């Protein structure tokens, strides 16, 4: 019989687990001094009231892009000047309209609601910059902006119109290919300066882990070889620092549940499987309902077996786009929601694929003509479980 006494008497391995969370911003960013310095140098001209060059930052997820920029932003905004630096994530502000609205909300608070036209925002912006202001706008995940060409054009035009102030864009993206999709004109204005954040190497990850473990864990609770293993796994997978931190956090939790005093290689290996799913769960939780339903439909067919793909001798786990839509419509009805049209469902599929939750391939040679084959990116049972709760099924 378990008692609270028993649980509480177990010595905790953690001093402060929040240090391991991805939201924790460390005061020191190891291996990013050079990048931070370069950003600061570019932005410094704003403090002399000259418009800095636009900056584009590229690097894979978890290479410290956002962290570094926010770090600089703190320093910038604490420096007494007529300039303002602001951060927005384009996953939320994903159109020219929304970005402009968000920017202007800083200066005119009642602009929260919709209904104002773009020209109105533009006028306000020019007016505001006219007060000899230097405005720095950080656009994180800039590739999410649907009409980026227009946005860049609008902003550069605003720059031309004012004599004194100016607006500078710092774009952040982890999509390399996106550069080629841009209109050449907006490309050249967006890429006035470019900065690349390389993935962390195994050795660098070891340092980062050591730094955080020192604050987050009790002393000597993590075996050095476990740290090395976590760093090596991460470097091989992606070089994403957040992944490494999550890995060591989960390993710690597993060790603790098993009543161990130390985190070992074995715990890191066990954590590895959990972390992948955990990261997926985070993205899934933020999904709009319809995307969740589509994903649920895919997972549930995968779990219960496909009526068609099996008899067509298809590789396990691949589904037809058509049968997924049928299932999606069915589940929608159960939830008393009107299913969206096929056309829009296809957009949903694209979104889900973009987020890495599924993969799809055109069927090519196969039975029943032409279709898209869909495969879930994670174990179906786990996804079903996850979504059953969040959809109240």
Q: Dump the DSSP string for 270-332.
A: HHHHHHHHHHHHHHHHTS-HHHHHHHHHHHHHHHH--TTTTTTTPPTT-EEHHHHHHHHHHHH
Asked if 351 is part of the footprint of DNA (rule: CB under 7 A), the reply reads no
Closer residue to DNA, CB minimum distance, 119 or 259: 119
**Least separation in angstroms between CB 83 and DNA:** 27
Asked if 367 is part of the footprint of DNA (rule: CB under 7 A), the reply reads yes
Given a contact cutoff of 8 angstroms between Cβ atoms, the answer to whether 318 and 374 are in contact is yes
**Least separation in angstroms between CB 322 and DNA:** 2
**Least separation in angstroms between CB 145 and DNA:** 10
| Residue of 130, 224, 322, 356 interacting with DNA (CB under 7 A) | 322
- With CA atoms as reference, report the closest residue to 178 among 139, 136, 153, 141: 141
Asked if 371 is part of the footprint of DNA (rule: CB under 7 A), the reply reads yes
Asked if 343 is part of the footprint of DNA (rule: CB under 7 A), the reply reads yes
Alpha-carbon separation of residue 260 from 186, 216, 244 (angstroms): 56, 17, 21
**Least separation in angstroms between CB 359 and DNA:** 13
Q: CB neighbours of 95 closer than 8 A, spacing ≥ 6?
A: 145, 146, 147
Asked if 350 is part of the footprint of DNA (rule: CB under 7 A), the reply reads yes
Asked if 327 is part of the footprint of DNA (rule: CB under 7 A), the reply reads no
With CB under 7 A as the contact rule, which of the stretches 56-64, 155-163, 297-305, 370-378 interacts with DNA?
A: 370-378
| Residue of 11, 23, 336, 370 interacting with DNA (CB under 7 A) | 370
| Residue of 1, 8, 117, 219 interacting with DNA (CB under 7 A) | 117
Asked if 336 is part of the footprint of DNA (rule: CB under 7 A), the reply reads no
Asked if 102 is part of the footprint of DNA (rule: CB under 7 A), the reply reads no
**Least separation in angstroms between CB 15 and DNA:** 43
Both tokens of 67, joined, read 């962290």
Asked if 89 is part of the footprint of DNA (rule: CB under 7 A), the reply reads no
Asked if 344 is part of the footprint of DNA (rule: CB under 7 A), the reply reads yes
Asked if 118 is part of the footprint of DNA (rule: CB under 7 A), the reply reads yes
**Least separation in angstroms between CB 144 and DNA:** 11
Q: At what angle do helices 321-334 and 342-354 cross, to 10 degrees?
A: 100
Both tokens of 131, joined, read 């007060």
Given a contact cutoff of 8 angstroms between Cβ atoms, the answer to whether 65 and 203 are in contact is no
Distance of alpha carbon 147 from alpha carbon 159, whole angstroms: 19
Asked if 116 is part of the footprint of DNA (rule: CB under 7 A), the reply reads yes
Distance of alpha carbon 325 from alpha carbon 342, whole angstroms: 7
**Least separation in angstroms between CB 296 and DNA:** 16
Q: Give the H/E segment covering residue 149.
A: helix 148-161
Asked if 313 is part of the footprint of DNA (rule: CB under 7 A), the reply reads no
Interior/surface letters 307-326, b for 16+ CB within 10 angstroms, e for the rest:
eebeeeebeeebbbbebbbe
Using DSSP bridges, classify how beta strands 372-376 and 319-320 pair: parallel, antiparallel or unpaired: antiparallel
Closer residue to DNA, CB minimum distance, 349 or 376: 349
Closer residue to DNA, CB minimum distance, 31 or 328: 328
Interaction site with DNA (CB under 7 A): 95-98, 113-118, 120, 290, 320-323, 325, 338-344, 346, 349-350, 360, 362, 364-372
């Amino acid at each position: 019989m378990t008692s609270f006494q028993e649980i509480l008497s177990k010595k905790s391995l953690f001093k402060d687990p929040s240090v391991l969370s991805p939201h924790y911003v460390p005061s020191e960013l190891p291996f990013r001094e050079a990048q931070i310095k370069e950003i600061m140098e570019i932005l410094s001209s704003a403090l002399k009231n000259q418009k800095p060059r636009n900056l584009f930052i590229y690097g894979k997820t978890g290479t410290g892009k956002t962290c570094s920029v926010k770090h600089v932003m703190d320093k910038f905004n604490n420096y007494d000047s007529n300039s303002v630096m602001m951060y927005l994530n384009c996953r939320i502000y994903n159109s020219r309209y929304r970005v402009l609205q968000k920017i202007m909300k800083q200066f005119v608070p009642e602009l929260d609601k919709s209904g104002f036209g773009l020209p109105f925002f533009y006028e306000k912006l020019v007016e505001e910059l006219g007060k000899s202001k230097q405005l720095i706008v950080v656009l994180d995940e800039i590739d999410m902006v649907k009409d980026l060409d227009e946005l860049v054009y609008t902003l550069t035009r605003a720059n031309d119109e004012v004599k004194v102030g100016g607006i500078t864009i710092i774009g952040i993206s982890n999509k390399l290919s996106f550069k080629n999709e841009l209109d050449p004109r907006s490309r050249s204005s967006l890429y006035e300066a470019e900065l690349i954040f390389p993935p962390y190497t195994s050795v660098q990850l070891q340092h980062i882990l050591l730094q955080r473990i020192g604050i987050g864990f009790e002393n000597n609770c993590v075996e050095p070889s476990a740290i090395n293993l976590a760093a090596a796994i991460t470097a091989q997978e992606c070089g994403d620092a957040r992944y490494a931190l999550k890995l060591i956090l989960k390993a710690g939790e597993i060790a603790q549940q098993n009543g161990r005093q130390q985190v070992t290689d074995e715990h890191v290996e066990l954590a590895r499987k959990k972390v992948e799913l955990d990261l997926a769960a985070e993205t899934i939780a933020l999904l709009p309902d319809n995307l969740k339903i589509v994903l649920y439909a895919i997972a549930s067919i995968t779990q219960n077996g496909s009526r068609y793909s099996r008899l067509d001798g298809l590789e396990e786990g691949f589904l037809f786009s058509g049968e997924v839509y049928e299932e999606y419509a069915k589940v929608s009805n159960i939830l008393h929601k009107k299913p969206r049209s096929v056309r829009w469902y296809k957009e949903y599929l694209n979104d889900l694929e973009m987020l890495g939750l599924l993969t799809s391939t055109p069927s090519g040679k196969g039975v029943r003509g032409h279709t898209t084959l869909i495969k879930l990116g994670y174990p179906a049972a786990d996804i079903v479980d996850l979504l059953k709760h969040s959809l109240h099924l």
